[in-house]
Amino acid sequence: MVLEVDDSVFYTTNEEHDIETAHGIVHVTMCGTPKLNRPVILTYHDIGLNHKTCFNSLFNFEDMHEITQHFSVCHVDAPGQQEGAASFPAGYMYPSMDQLAEMLPGVIQQLGLKSVLGLGIGAGAYILTRFALNHPSMVEGLVLININPCAEGWMDWAATKISGWTHALPDMVISHLFSKDEVHSNHELVETYRQHIVQDINQNNLQLFVKSYNSRRDLEIERPFPGSNTVTLKCPALLVVGDSSPAVDAVVDCNSKLDPTKTTLLKMSDCGGFPQVVQPAKLAEAFKYFVQGMGYMPAASMTRLMRSRTGSAASSSSQDGNRSRSHTNEGSRSRSHTGDGNRSRAHTGDGNRSRSHTDSNNTNSEHNTPKSMEISC
């Protein structure tokens, strides 16, 4: 497998900006012109990557072109991780993960954006989640791949100190990006990324970014229940993970801490830590399904995931059809858009989309407990 790193060619304009924020300068690439009454897709990459090596395989995939015809895209590179970045001076204090998240309001304001739809992977998913928790009015939805909501474990931290940074850094990043099975079975893909990490990313800057990620604190989110005042995401969220990803347990844990009425968990079969590279068709369709659930792109074609989730649609529709829903994993809905961006929604007997809820009828004790939807494909 050859890693695609060419610039995206299907946008009318690509503009690069170095934006100064309260916590330093951040490099962003704006693709396309923001459209009225629609959020901008804002991406944030993982450690060891930049926006091109992380997302070009996905955005250059044909099925994603339908999405980018409707949404402009803002790619954010973490400080010092963009192509050709110079080393930071001695003594430079790299931003913490919280500070990286706090750079984003400045980016959005200086670019004149109103709201965003976040797409993040690994460290980028953590940063976007922190940003959404702190600034919910700026975020309409999140697609989070391989998110880990917890602080780095003590044993993991100790291992990096004992083994030494210089030798361990590329291996540490590889073990974060890929599972052991992938390292042994997908040599070409792993070697492509290893070469990129060693040759194309500024090693001093990467070390600072990795240290910042490994020093992250818990997101401290909790699943809400009636009458509670817990901290959790307010926007719809799609969690994505490969079934052999090193982050699968962390993603499942994150799913358990989010509002089940606004969250969908997508597990991809035959996929590890890089669904955007290994399974771009499935991810593109899930992305389209997600934004359609938010009220955008009502005419988008849906095939693969629709086939995978028809089994229990009838029981789900009969149970949930009488409740008002406004998020991606709830009920069957028909959507219409008006010129000023307002969206009207109506329920029908079978609706535009059938949604299945896992284990919703297992026991009486579980009957009134909302379940986040889990999909395997």
Residue-wise pLDDT for 91-130, tens only, equals: 999 999 999 999 999 999 999 999 999 999 999 999 999 9
Q: State the Cα–Cα distance between residues 3 and 197, nearest whole angstrom.
A: 13
pLDDT for residue 68 is more than 80: yes
C-alpha Rg value of the chain to the nearest Å:
20
**Per-residue tokens: 306:** 């629709």
Fold of 14-293: Rossmann fold (3.40.50)
**At 36, is the pLDDT very low, low, confident or very high (cuts 50, 70, 90)?**
confident
Mean pLDDT of the 54-79 span? 95
Q: Is 94 helix (H, G, I), strand (E, B) or coil?
A: coil
Query: Which residues fall within 8 angstroms of residue 16, CB to CB, at 6 or more apart?
Result: 27, 28, 29, 30
Region class of 112: left (phi > 0), else alpha (psi between -120 and 50), else beta: left
pLDDT for residue 87 is more than 90: yes
Q: What pLDDT score does 111 carry?
A: 95
How far is residue 164 from each of residues 168, 172, 177, measured CA to CA in Å?
6, 11, 19
Q: State the Cα–Cα distance between residues 3 and 232, nearest whole angstrom.
A: 36
By CB atoms closer than 10 A (0-12, 13-18, 19+), residue 276 is buried
The single residue listed with the structure tokens 């379940």 is: 371
* Residue 249, number of CB atoms within 10 A of its CB: 11
**In the chain, what are the domain boundaries?**
14-293, 304-359
Q: State the Cα–Cα distance between residues 239 and 236, nearest whole angstrom.
A: 10
pTM for the whole thing?
0.79
Beta bridge partners of 18: 27
Contact 122, 225 (CB under 8 A): no
pLDDT tens digits, 239-255: 999 999 999 999 999 99
The single residue listed with the structure tokens 């009957």 is: 367
**Per-residue tokens: 322:** 């009488």
What DSSP element (H or E) covers 345? strand 343-346
